Structure 1
Amino acid sequence: MTRTSPMTVKRVRLWRWGHNPLKRHSDVVEAWIVLVTWALALLGGVLAGVVAAQATDSAFAVRRAQVHAVSAVLTDDAAKTPSGGSGYDNGRVWAAVRWTDTVGTVHTGQTKIFPGSPVGSRLTVWADGTGRIVSPPPSVTGATLQVVLTGLLVAPLAGATVWAGGRLIRTRLLQRRLAEWEKEWEQVGPEWRKRSGGRG
């Protein structure tokens, strides 16, 4: 008794690029769509990540240029215990401070400090061009980390967006191809069934 082996299907890679009698124009178009989609996804993702990182770095640079550190004096004793809050201030409390700018103008404001600091304590605060106390800019290390993370986050998102667009185009092309096959089968099918039935 002869044992027959199951039929195996050999997958031919890059068949859309070679000579194939069954290859249609839509197959060539799809091959180019795949190639262009991957190229744009990779290059576009990298470019978008670089642009986003540069934009973030520029924003931090502008922020650092708009503020400056000043030496201030605590004008009141700070509260000994922080009031209930969101917990994002590391237990710090609001306190009044005073400082003098480079032209001799005295400024006052409120800033967050650790509880229990006595009046007269010196501390560094950040002020903008109008003399208003603002939050400190990120450190060089913190800014660099945020720039890198921004680039790493934007790059794959941009690439995935391009890839999804290419996938959508390929899906539409497949639907169109199936419709063409169905239309052709409506013309060829009856004749093929007629001949097949005649052989039986």
Structure 2
Amino acid sequence: MRAIIGLWRWRHNPLRRTTDLVEAWLALAALLLVLVAAPLVGAAVGASAQDALQQAVRNQRKDRHQVAATVVKKLTRGPLAPDPETSTARDARSRVTADWTAPDGTPQHGTVIAGLKSPRPGDHFPIWTDLHGRIVGRPLDSATALTHAVLAGFGAAVLSAGLMEGGRRLIVWHMVRRRYARWDQAWDKAGPDWGKAGTGS
């Protein structure tokens, strides 16, 4: 809005310099870019991120399988284990030795984190594995992928708007420096006699 007011104000002003008009047009162009180009950049980045993340969701769902594991024994707490008196979600997870069958039918045995507060031998709990029974992380779900894509698009829009405004400010800063340099040259030409009677000023 300031850009439009600035352009209108400088239209027929006799004190208007070319740099004033350039600065006002630059502010208007930056405003239009922030209002139009930044959202388009954000939408493009968000759509691209959404496509990539949804493809990752599909791949992970195809490659990762939830299987039932059976507790063989609970492992004792180490010196760095969390305090049993606290009530965080992390405390509801225990390290255990467990058996499970891979999706390809091979039996597996190993140390895993069980989502059980007090695991006992024979307790069952779900784990995620690859086709050969190796432990993997839970697959990314569509809602989380969408959230990440929206955040990526929003971040790209904000970043592009910031870059456009930063570019405008940098150009204006260079214009102001040139303006001050011209003023210094004009004062140097006027010399130390400026304002004295009979010096032609």
With normalisation by structure 2, the TM-score equals 0.69
Instruction: State the SS of the aligned residue for 2:127.
Output: strand
Counterpart AA for 1:68: R
What's the CA shift string for 1:6-48, capped at 9, x where partnerless?
xxxxxx7435651233222222322232122223333343234
What's the CA shift string for 1:58-114, capped at 9, x where partnerless?
44324321342222222513348687447986111223341231x434444543212
Question: When the two structures are aligned, how many residues end up with a matched partner?
Answer: 187
Q: State whether residues 81 and 116 of structure 1, in contact with CA within 8 Å, keep that contact through their aligned partners in structure 2.
A: no
After TM superposition, the structure 1 = structure 2 runs for residues 87-98 of structure 1, keeping only pairs within 5 Å, are 90-91=90-91, 92-95=93-96, 96-98=98-100
**Distance in 2 (alpha carbons) for counterparts of 1:148 and 1:52:** 9
Instruction: State the SS of the aligned residue for 2:7.
Output: coil
Q: Tell me the equivalent position of 1:5.
A: none
**Distance in 2 (alpha carbons) for counterparts of 1:79 and 1:127:** 21
- 1:36–1:104 CA distance, 2 compared to 1 (3 A): same
**Distance in 2 (alpha carbons) for counterparts of 1:73 and 1:56:** 35
Identity of aligned residues (%): 29
- 1:182–1:121 CA distance, 2 compared to 1 (3 A): same
Instruction: State the SS of the aligned residue for 2:67.
Output: strand
1:111 aligns with 2:103: no
After TM superposition, the structure 1 = structure 2 runs for residues 19-168 of structure 1, keeping only pairs within 5 Å, are 19-64=12-57, 65-66=59-60, 67-79=63-75, 84-85=80-81, 90-91=90-91, 92-95=93-96, 96-101=98-103, 103-113=104-114, 114-128=116-130, 131-168=133-170
Deviation at 1:172, TM superposition (A): 0.9
Deviation at 1:190, TM superposition (A): 7.6
Q: State whether residues 46 and 152 of structure 2, in contact with CA within 8 Å, keep that contact through their aligned partners in structure 1.
A: yes
Considering only aligned residues, what root-mean-square deviation do their CA atoms show, in Å? 3.7
With normalisation by structure 1, the TM-score equals 0.69
Counterpart AA for 1:135: G
What's the CA shift string for 1:120-154, capped at 9, x where partnerless?
43333223455421111343333333333343344
- 1:75–1:85 CA distance, 2 compared to 1 (3 A): closer
Contiguous gaps of at least 5 residues in structure 1: 1-11
Stretch deviating more after TM superposition (166-175 or 31-40): 31-40
Counterpart AA for 1:147: A
- 1:125–1:63 CA distance, 2 compared to 1 (3 A): farther
